[in-house]
Amino acid sequence: MSVQKFFSPEDVPIQRVQFAGLIFDILRLDKIHQGASGNKFFKLKYNFIEAEKNGYKKILTFGGAFSNHIVATAISAKSSGFKSIGIIRGEKVNNPSLKLAQKYGMELHFIDREDYRKKETDDFLDELKRKYDNPFIIPEGGTNDLALNGTAEIHNFIPEHYNLITACFGTGGTLAGLIEGKSDHQKVLGVSVLKGDWVKDELKNLVGKNNDNWNLTTNYHFGGYAKWKHELIDFITEFYEKTGVPLDPVYTGKMMYGLMMEWKKDNISSDDHILAIHSGGLQGIAGFNERFGFNLAER
């Protein structure tokens, strides 16, 4: 399939749900392509178009062993005619995420954490280019200028009448695009999945000065990136039972929990037309269940 075709979804479902007395809608980006689903698909789009335009045959990127970005890159590459290479942080392991990446033809290379930290230096990138025959390199998590062009296009699937759009913050590429692409009457509420207030400056830098009417809450990280508590697991389980929508414990579970808490704290009005962005990440649930012995719905 051509790059343009693969990255042009025709439609994304919007699902109405009711939970804890709040009626709102969810944009199911997780439904776009199994695994390459969610926000990563939008972040990759213009990177792949750029790679094709410049004649690259291979895509190389970085990630941890459970990375949604790694899996999304593998599926996107396979589906649009590229080879792919994943540089994975840490010791060689196998898990459902990496198996999926390999199933889509990704060549995996494990590097120790010290080398991994060099991944943005010119010397290291030059070495990778030589070693792997000049691949197109996409940064960890996929956030770069090209990514923001893609995440702004999530608005193509957001009807204008929504005035409150909520999504999670990992590196900020998704929220920045949503903020850049929104109309004046729309407000964006971000929920950080990382610990610390520094994320607010990070997002401010990404969106530039001219964009306001957004807020990023940092109260729902459950201890930090990929950290969790039983309260979060119980919430995800109950949300699935009541709505049929699966959430993952690293990203969308925290976003939805944050939205519900803001509603309980009266920071959200029932007059708001709310659209929560389901940014995907469901592929990671199998590995989470396997590691910690849970039974969270995987789709």
Ligand X SMILES: *Cc1c(COP(=O)(O)O)cnc(C)c1O
**Residue ranges binding ligand X (CB under 6 A):** 38-40, 68-69, 141, 143, 168-175, 251-252, 279-281
Least distance CB 21 / ligand X (angstroms):
26
Query: Beta strands of the chain (E only): which ranges?
Result: 14-19, 22-28, 58-63, 83-89, 107-111, 136-138, 164-169, 187-192, 214-217, 274-278
Q: Which is nearer to ligand X, 24 or 130 (CB)?
A: 24
Least distance CB 133 / ligand X (angstroms):
28
Cβ atoms within 10 Å, residue 94: 10
Q: Which is nearer to ligand X, 108 or 285 (CB)?
A: 285
136 three-class SS: strand
Q: Which is nearer to ligand X, 132 or 225 (CB)?
A: 225
Q: Which amino acid is at 183?
A: S
Least distance CB 194 / ligand X (angstroms):
9
**Which residues, 6+ apart, have CB-to-CB distance to 121 below 8 Å?**
none
Least distance CB 127 / ligand X (angstroms):
26
Pairing of strands 164-169, 274-278: parallel
Q: Which is nearer to ligand X, 134 or 289 (CB)?
A: 289
Least distance CB 282 / ligand X (angstroms):
8
Token pair 């954490």 is found at 113
Least distance CB 81 / ligand X (angstroms):
24
Phi, psi of 60 (to 5 degrees): -120, 135
Q: Which is nearer to ligand X, 129 or 155 (CB)?
A: 155
Q: Which is nearer to ligand X, 123 or 173 (CB)?
A: 173
From the number of C-beta atoms within 10 Å of its C-beta (0-12, 13-18, 19+), residue 166 rates as buried
DSSP secondary structure code for residue 191 in this structure: E
Phi, psi of 2 (to 5 degrees): -70, 160
As a whole number of Å, the end-to-end CA separation of the chain is 25
DSSP secondary structure code for residue 274 in this structure: E
